[in-house]
Structure 1
Amino acid sequence: MSTNLVLAAILLILMIWVGGKKGARSFFALFLNFIMLLITVLLMTDPHINPIILTFIACTGISAINLFYINGVNQKTATAFMATMITIAVMLIFILIVTKKSMIQGFSEEELEEISIYSLHLGVDFVKIATSVIIMSTIGSITDVAISITSPMQEIFNHQPKIERRKLFLSGLTIGKDILGTNTNTLFFAFIGSYMGLLLWFRDLKYSVGAIANSKVFSDEMLTIFCAGIGIAAIIPIASWINASHLIKKRDKNTEQTTSGQI
């Protein structure tokens, strides 16, 4: 525990030193997100609660914390939040279908030996649980990409207030292209790094490449990576279109008001 406290203190000091007040809010947002996730997990054990609806509510709360609490309530965060919610809603349906078709829900063969002494009759829908796990694994990256697009687009619009909607939208896509590869690779190495011990275990048990590729636990992680990448790719045009439409609409409205006032 003392080591965790020391590391947490070092992290807090560095985040405040680099980010100031926003860095401090980012640090405390970690604990708020943890509380949100903990409450979500506890509620998922109730068979009367739909995990999909619960996940969407939890993602809404996490997105609000990451966007509004850290960056404040403004046009950039509002459009990023809207784009995030649309992407999450679409991804929930898509991932639910993929999970049913791939049958990756439940426990893998590698996990059964360790949990064989427990009852597996939990009374919950593991397809929906697997869907919730995948989408919760991607929510952080999706909100990060959303604000990474809307913020530069706002700066572009401020410097070129007469820019056309199509050019502003294409600027958002260009920004998204630059961060798409790095974010996808970050997710890939994060998941693979967390399962490095499992890969070493596969090697010790002399699993063939085909056996590894067809194992449920490995397929589960790869599908999570692919779905996360799809979510990141999908939110780029969504966030760009929503932000461009909102900025141009706001400009046209202000122009009409100015013209009416002069008349």
Structure 2
Amino acid sequence: MRSSTDSAGGDKLVKVDEQFVVGKVLTVTQPKLNSQLMQSTGMVSNQQLVHVEILEGPLKGSDTVITNEITDNPVFNINVKPGQEVVLSMVTESGGKPEFNIADYHRAPVLSWLLVVFLIAFLIFGGKNGLKSLAGLLISVLLISFVLLPASMAGINPLLTAVFICLCATTSSMLLVAGFSKKAAASIMGTVGGVFIAGIAAQIVIVLAPLTGLSSEEAQILRGSVLSQPPAFYSGLLAAGMLIGALGVIMDVGISVASAVQEVAKTDNNLTAGQLYESGMNVGRDIMGTMTNTLILAYTGSALPLLLLAAQVPSIKLLNLDLVATEIASALSGSLGLVCTIPLTALAAARLMAKKEAKAEEVSGVG
């Protein structure tokens, strides 16, 4: 529910309550051109009457007829058909009769089914480790939902909060997957080091470029209507987003390299730390190309409309656009952290997993 109080006529306060409820479309009339709107503004808009049954809330079971506008701009259109569920905006002024509008499609059921299919596949093919990985994912989501977001809304430095979350998420995920083991310790050290490097790179680029953190429409709306903070706050929010975005891939690389070194160490107990490090690096070099590709493609895929729009802009302006530079900085800083995670993890795993005798031989050989 959203509530607001507005003044009307300078001396009367009007309380406005807005709720969102789910409704089911019963019938839809054929669209008719809104001639009055076209004559006054030149905008092409077709009106249709939608008969909707309310499925939840205080008016559950009742029905209402809503005027739905279909314009020549598909961004704002909600095309409905009988049997389809929609989200309704129910606005009530000072306890009067509620007014309904179709706010959006009801997408939650489809997303829920997709989530169920994902969880089933994850548990079938992942087994016990899959369940542990899901627990780690849940912890990360909870940290973002109940630590990062509330802290940011309270004006606390989002970058420092994101660093704390990365440390907690990394530690919990690695311990859940690998237990209290040398593999977990090595992967934690490598991942934390990689995230730290990615964060430093992101912060340097944000300061020197400079990047405002306000290039996206969402950030501009947030600053203008919800969270009024100085520009430095939004730069920190941008850096926090870069860290969170790269964390998953960096963790994946860290645990993969640590696992590889552990398996090699099990095969031959006499390998020195240097030999184990080289084995970890050999595996890491194979991972490096594919994981960097994954990270770059993830950012590219999310920015396809931007790239299509940017293709019409001269290259010198394109590369210097705040929005484009932000995407490039995010991808490159995350990739840098990923690349550095490999030697850091390999080094930590090699030092932890090499036998004491092999370490002693390596030291005496060097001497």
TM over 0.5: yes
Structure 2 CA distance, aligned partners of 1:235 and 1:199? 29
> Which residue is equivalent to 2:306?
198
Listed as ranges, the matches of 1:42-61 within 5 Å are: 42-47=150-155, 49-61=156-168
Q: Quick one: which of 92, 100, 111 aligns to 2:199? A: 92
Distance 1:59 1:114, change over 3 A: closer
Structure 1 CA distance, aligned partners of 2:317 and 2:115? 40
> Per residue, is there more strand in 1 or in 2?
2
In structure 2, what residue type is equivalent to 1:200? L
> Which residue is equivalent to 2:246?
138
Structure 1 gap segments, 5+ residues each: 257-263
Structure 2 CA distance, aligned partners of 1:202 and 1:98? 21
Query: Are the equivalent residues in 1 in contact too, given 2:211–2:322 (CA < 8 A)?
Result: yes
Give the C-alpha shift of residue 132 in structure 1.
Answer: 1.4
> Which residue is equivalent to 1:261?
none
Structure 2 CA distance, aligned partners of 1:56 and 1:202? 32
* Percent of paired sites with the same residue: 24
Query: Are the equivalent residues in 2 in contact too, given 1:12–1:24 (CA < 8 A)?
Result: no
Query: Are the equivalent residues in 2 in contact too, given 1:104–1:220 (CA < 8 A)?
Result: yes
Q: Quick one: which of 162, 177, 180 aligns to 2:285? A: 177
Q: Could you say what secondary structure the match of 1:235 adopts?
A: helix
Distance 1:228 1:255, change over 3 A: closer
Q: Could you say what secondary structure the match of 1:125 adopts?
A: helix
Higher relative contact order, structure no. (Cα contacts within 8 Å, ≥ 6 residues apart)? 1
Structure 1 CA distance, aligned partners of 2:116 and 2:122? 10
Structure 1 CA distance, aligned partners of 2:200 and 2:348? 21
Matching of residue 159 in structure 1 with residue 267 in structure 2: yes
Query: Are the equivalent residues in 1 in contact too, given 2:166–2:244 (CA < 8 A)?
Result: yes
Q: Quick one: which of 204, 229, 252 aligns to 2:356? A: 252
Query: Are the equivalent residues in 2 in contact too, given 1:83–1:242 (CA < 8 A)?
Result: yes
Structure 2 CA distance, aligned partners of 1:223 and 1:121? 25
Deviation readout 1:86-118 (Å, 9 max, x if unpaired):
33333333322221001112322x739973992
Listed as ranges, the matches of 1:1-263 within 5 Å are: 1-38=108-145, 39-47=147-155, 49-108=156-215, 111=217, 115=221, 118-119=224-225, 121-123=228-230, 125-203=233-311, 206-248=312-354, 251-252=355-356
Give the C-alpha shift of residue 196 in structure 1.
Answer: 1.1
Structure 1 CA distance, aligned partners of 2:223 and 2:150? 22
Distance 1:130 1:117, change over 3 A: closer
* 4+ runs deviating over 4 angstroms: 253-256
Q: Could you say what secondary structure the match of 2:224 adopts?
A: coil
Structure 2 CA distance, aligned partners of 1:222 and 1:117? 23
Distance 1:254 1:165, change over 3 A: closer
Structure 1 CA distance, aligned partners of 2:204 and 2:297? 25
Give the C-alpha shift of residue 79 in structure 1.
Answer: 1.2
Q: Which has the larger radius of gyration?
A: 2
Aligned pairs, number: 250
> Per residue, is there more helix in 1 or in 2?
1
Structure 2 CA distance, aligned partners of 1:116 and 1:149? 40
Give the C-alpha shift of residue 44 in structure 1.
Answer: 1.8
> Which residue is equivalent to 1:259?
none
Structure 1 CA distance, aligned partners of 2:351 and 2:212? 39
Deviation readout 1:53-98 (Å, 9 max, x if unpaired):
2121100111123211233332111111122223333333332222
Structure 1 CA distance, aligned partners of 2:282 and 2:210? 36
